[in-house]
Amino acid sequence: MAVAYRLCEFRTATRSQPPDKDCVDIARGHGLVVIRDTKQDWGSATDAHVVLSAADFDEVQHALRDTDVRGPEIPSEVLAGCVLRFDRQRRDHTVLTCAVDKAGDGPSAPLVYTDAEIVAWLDGVANHEFDQDTIATQHDGTCQCDGLTLAVA
């Protein structure tokens, strides 16, 4: 199954709006969630993505909301049992990976975020900005932009 996502279907947290455009980018649809890093040029060789089921992503959001994590450090026990992993490798450098990436069924490519990006994303999670109902109301299906096709098994 191939699923196409367009750049205009991705959303960032309100807190990460300009002038700081570097952020966690989320798209939802077809029962999946795609996560990308806006620091990477759209469609370039470095434009890696994490693809997971919407249910797995929502499990992560619920775990973060239940513990009111505001970051930038996310304790591993908060996401115990979840497929997403946040590894803070050094100050201002967090690597996000997914244990089972739906685009390839193996571990995902790593996405690297700054503390500010993680904090902004966590704020968006806390404010329900990445919930299915919220994202669905933002897109009317008429956006015109380049597509990205991900092969999903």
pLDDT > 70 fraction of the chain, expressed in percent and rounded: 77
Domain coverage including residue 108: 2-151
Phi, psi of 33 (to 5 degrees): -130, 135
User: Does the CA dihedral 23-78-80-66 come out positive or negative?
Assistant: negative
3-state secondary structure of 9: helix
89 and 111 Cβ atoms separated by less than 8 Å: no
Quote the Cα angle for 19-136-84, to 5°.
Answer: 70
Domain total of the chain: 1
Q: What is this structure's pTM?
A: 0.84
**Digit-coded pLDDT (tens) for 86-129:** 888 877 788 888 776 565 555 677 888 888 889 999 999 999 99
